[in-house]
Amino acid sequence: MSRPRYARLVGLLGLVIAAVVVVSTLLGRSDGATGIAPGQRLAPFAVPLALGTLQGDANIATHAHEGSAGNVPACSVRGVQVLNVCELYEQGPVVLALFVEDGGCPTVLGEMQALVASYPEVHFAAVAIGGQRSRLRRLVRSRHLSLPVGIDADGALVSLYKVFSCPQVNFAFPDGVVQSKALLGTPSPAALRARVGQLVAASRVRDGQGGGA
């Protein structure tokens, strides 16, 4: 998944995102970028898993030979060390959090982990935007996370997913079509559980299985 990057800019990524989040919080803005709109499909990407050894930037290509986006389509990049959003939504509903490892953002990972057993049909996953991989590994292990956590080293998902808040939690049907607006900021456990329940119920109705979480 490696591709050329301006390495000097990568180190500034976390600071830029953090600054955006701080400004957003201070201004009380929740009407900025709100993620991918309901009805649209989650943008394809493949990133290395934080706990793996695979190196490289995010592949966000939709076709072959897209230069810096990737030489092969992101959906085709599979493997035990890869977090591929296409592979997730091919298997069931998806709850995807995009976050930075600083501040209170990672709190959402524990809240998502707490729902894994209650919603086995849902594929929970998270991607850290930038940051240090060693710190991210410690975070994953210290919180005993079973949900896959990837790392977007060069921040390609920021513009792709219109990230303006930390975390940004996305909800998608089994085919990747976004079910509802993303949650912006750290949700309460009750709010997150409610949204996951709504996703499951809507997915069942959509598939003709009837409602009920």
pLDDT digits (tens, 9 = 90+) for 139-198: 999 999 999 999 999 999 999 999 988 999 999 999 999 999 999 999 999 999 999 999
Count the domains in the chain.
1
pLDDT digits (tens, 9 = 90+) for 7-32: 444 444 545 554 444 433 332 334 44
Query: β-strand 123-129 against 94-99: which pairing, if any?
Result: parallel
Q: Is residue 1 part of a domain?
A: no
Per-position DSSP letters for 145-167, written without gaps between them: --S-EEEETT-HHHHHTT--SSS
Q: How many residues does the chain have?
A: 213
Q: Is residue 213 part of a domain?
A: no
pLDDT band at residue 135, thresholds of 50, 70 and 90? very high
Exposure of 150 in the CB half-sphere (CA atoms within 13 A) = 31
Q: Is residue 211 part of a domain?
A: no
Q: Which domain holds residue 169?
A: 7-206
Q: Is residue 212 part of a domain?
A: no
Look over the chain and give the mean of its residue pLDDT values, rounded to a whole number.
Answer: 87
Q: What is the CATH number of the domain that holds 110?
A: 3.40.30.10
- The pLDDT value recorded for residue 33 is 63
